[in-house]
């Protein structure tokens, strides 16, 4: 009877200090707005400008979609929580948050590895790039990224939500993060934690190893480039991707595979904030809007807008 009594959870969120909560609300609102506007702008530019209709920007478009969805899954409820209007969440709502969180996070893991492969082919095999990275291959790689994220995210979420929960119902987090929810289960969760670790190996360590191998080959190719312009262009493109990769995989490994993972709620909140707000808001700046072709597309869109209004 007690095991079926939990119909909703209480998200403890951040500090109970009203002034601090209001300050955090302002900061997080700005970051969330930047995430939506930045990634939407990148998506629109890629769709409208035919010069950006290439495999690299095709995958970047998918990354923008993932970042928008990822942030929108967690942040709105967190903002309501900070205003004292949404601390409770239904069991179904909590399950939906866990499910979508896992789908988007795992999809991004695969997508970043796919983007590194695209850069490897472009730099190490430029003459065969159009043949290797044809649109059928690009669509297949994008579909595989989303399919793997959906399948393994659904598997983890299903196993976690079928556990018995009999109280307490307070989740020490700002959203229903899977490790925080597992702490409330009334049964042994060792099997779930083993599955999480196995998924981390498949979606974090394995893709990271492929990325590092790709960039070792890229580095070897760069060493044979004689022109300074070639060096600059290559480092500009790959440096942006490596920055995103380092931030994303580094924090994920530290959170889910580091010593004491799942035991420090404070650390989990900070790292989850990074995934939900900081990384999605920075990705357009790091990887897109500083790119010369994207800047030119933005200027072209602004000129078109001025002509339309005049």
Residue-by-residue pLDDT tens, the chain, 310 positions: 444 467 889 888 887 788 888 999 999 999 999 999 999 988 988 888 888 888 989 999 999 999 999 999 989 989 988 887 768 899 899 999 999 999 999 999 999 999 989 989 988 898 999 999 999 999 999 999 999 999 999 999 999 988 888 877 888 888 998 988 998 888 888 899 899 999 999 999 999 999 989 988 888 887 776 656 556 666 666 777 777 788 788 888 888 887 666 565 677 788 888 878 888 888 887 766 666 777 777 777 777 766 565 5
Strand 88-90 versus strand 170-171 pairing type: unpaired
| Whole-number pLDDT of residue 268 | 79
Phi, psi of 258 (to 5 degrees): -75, 170
| Whole-number pLDDT of residue 16 | 75
Residue pair 89/12 in contact (Cβ under 8 Å)? The answer is no
Closest C-alpha to 56, from 223, 278, 234: 234
| Whole-number pLDDT of residue 138 | 96
Phi, psi of 170 (to 5 degrees): -95, 115
How many CA atoms does the CB half-sphere of 176 hold within 13 Å?
26
- How far apart, in whole angstroms, are the C-alpha atoms of residue 76 and residue 249? 25
| Whole-number pLDDT of residue 85 | 74
Residue pair 244/66 in contact (Cβ under 8 Å)? The answer is no
Task: Output the CATH code of domain 8-308.
Answer: 1.20.1070.10
| Whole-number pLDDT of residue 266 | 74
Residue 18: burial class (beta carbons within 10 Å; 0-12, 13-18, 19+): exposed
| Whole-number pLDDT of residue 98 | 94
Query: Model's pTM, two decimal places?
Result: 0.88
| Whole-number pLDDT of residue 4 | 46
DSSP state string for 143-205: HHHHHHHHHHHHHHHHHHHTS-B-S--EESSSS--HHHHHTTBSS--HHHHHHHHHHHIIIII
């Amino acid at each position: 009877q007690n095991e079926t009594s939990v119909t909703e959870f209480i998200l403890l969120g951040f500090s109970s200090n009203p002034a601090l909560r209001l300050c955090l609300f302002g900061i997080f609102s700005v970051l969330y707005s930047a995430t939506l506007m930045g990634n939407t702008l990148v998506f629109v530019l890629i769709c409208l400008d035919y010069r950006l209709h290439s495999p690299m920007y095709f995958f970047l478009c998918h990354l923008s979609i993932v970042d928008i969805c990822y942030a929108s899954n967690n942040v709105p409820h967190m903002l309501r929580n900070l205003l004292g209007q949404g601390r409770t969440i239904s069991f179904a709502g909590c399950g939906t948050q866990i499910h979508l969180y896992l789908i988007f996070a795992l999809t991004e893991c695969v997508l970043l590895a796919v983007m590194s492969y695209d850069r490897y082919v472009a730099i190490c095999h430029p003459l065969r790039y159009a043949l290797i990275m044809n649109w059928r291959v690009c669509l297949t790689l994008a579909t595989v990224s989303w399919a793997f994220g959906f399948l393994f995210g659904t598997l983890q979420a299903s196993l976690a939500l079928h556990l018995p929960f009999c109280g307490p119902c307070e989740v020490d987090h700002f959203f229903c993060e899977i490790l925080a929810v597992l702490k409330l289960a009334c049964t042994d969760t060792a099997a779930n934690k083993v599955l999480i670790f196995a998924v981390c190996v498949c979606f974090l360590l394995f893709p990271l190893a492929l990325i590092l191998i790709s960039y070792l080959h890229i580095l070897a190719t760069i060493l044979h480039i004689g022109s300074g312009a070639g060096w600059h262009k290559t480092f500009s493109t790959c440096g942006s991707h490596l920055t995103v990769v380092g931030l994303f995989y580094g924090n994920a490994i530290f959170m889910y595979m580091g010593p004491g993972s799942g035991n420090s709620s404070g650390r989990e909140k900070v790292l989850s904030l990074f995934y939900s707000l900081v990384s999605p808001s920075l990705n357009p700046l790091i990887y897109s809007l500083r790119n010369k072709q994207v800047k030119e597309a933005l200027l072209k869109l602004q000129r078109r807008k001025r002509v339309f209004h005049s």
